[in-house]
């Protein structure tokens, strides 16, 4: 039986994970947060003080990353440890951008992503899903928003937590990540030629979810 694969790409802070999770739940698909996989690699390297590219590559064999679905929710594991919360720290976000530029890291995680797509109806989000990981996806979405709006959303999300960075720090981080992601030599962030652009700058969460669900329904005929 053929599976249906949906690719959602876009820059950091565009709301890909939140929206993809909601859309997947509404359509009965499995949600695959590929960014969480890279964040977990970055967390491992950060916790073990591994910074040199050659050392990162050599350490990959010890870095056991997996996704588990518990009560319908995706949880991310490093070995047998649930790191779903730990990987959301700002310093890990920057680390994820750096390790994702290493070809050996991408190859290490590529098979995990492909296997899930081959065996399930999935909505997968990331930076290069529609261009590299799932080039034959049934539907491709490129979800974006202005850097200022993305920074504002992230600031609101983190404002209740201790040691919250300032809005300006978050904006600087997002602009830097955009540059790194779009200019890395391996699988840079870009909109696939056959992807549909969805700009969420002036849209609410529910509006974006319904818009993307509508696109998927129109393209696949599956409700």
Residue 180 CB burial class (10 angstroms; 0-12, 13-18, ≥19) = middle
Confidence tier at 216 by pLDDT (50, 70, 90):
very high
**Per-position b or e across 131-150, b if 16+ CB within 10 A of its CB:** bbbbeebbbbbbbbbebebb
Residue 72 has pLDDT above 80, yes or no: no
Sketch out the chain's domains with CATH numbers.
5-218 (3.40.50.300)
Sheet holding 196-199, edge to edge: 30-33, 122-126, 5-9, 139-144, 196-199
Predicted pLDDT at 212: 97
Confidence tier at 1 by pLDDT (50, 70, 90):
low
Say what the pTM is.
0.79
Between helix 34-47 and helix 103-119 the angle, nearest 10°, is 140
The per-residue DSSP string of 150-176 comes to HHHHHHHHHTTSTTPPPHHHHHHHHHH
- CA-wise closest residue to 8 among 42, 31, 40: 31
Mean of the pLDDT values across residues 60-74? 84
The tens digit of pLDDT for each residue in 24-47 reads 999 989 898 888 999 999 999 999
The tens digit of pLDDT for each residue in 84-113 reads 999 988 889 889 988 988 999 998 898 888
The tens digit of pLDDT for each residue in 147-188 reads 999 999 999 988 888 888 999 999 999 999 999 989 988 888
């Amino acid at each position: 039986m053929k599976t249906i694969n949906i690719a959602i790409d876009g820059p950091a802070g565009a709301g890909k994970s939140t929206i993809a999770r909601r859309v997947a739940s509404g359509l009965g698909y499995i949600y695959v947060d590929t960014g969480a996989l890279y964040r977990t690699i970055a967390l491992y390297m950060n916790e073990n003080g591994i910074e040199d590219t050659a050392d990162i590559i050599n350490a990959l064999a010890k870095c056991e990353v997996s996704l588990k679905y518990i009560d319908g929710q995706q949880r991310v594991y490093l070995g047998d440890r649930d790191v779903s919360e730990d990987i959301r720290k700002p310093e890990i976000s920057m680390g994820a951008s750096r390790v994702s530029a290493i070809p050996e890291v991408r190859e290490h995680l590529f098979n995990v992503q492909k296997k899930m797509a081959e065996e399930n109806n999935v909505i997968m989000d990331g930076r290069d899903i529609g261009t590299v990981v799932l080039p034959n996806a049934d539907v491709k979405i490129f979800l974006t928003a202005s850097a200022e709006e993305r920074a504002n959303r992230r600031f609101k999300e983190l404002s209740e937590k201790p040691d919250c960075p300032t809005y300006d720090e978050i904006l600087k981080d997002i602009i830097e990540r955009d540059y790194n992601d779009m200019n890395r030599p391996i699988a840079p962030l870009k909109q696939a030629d056959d992807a549909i652009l969805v700009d969420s700058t002036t849209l609410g969460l529910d509006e974006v979810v319904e818009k993307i669900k509508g696109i998927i329904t129109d393209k696949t005929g599956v409700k």
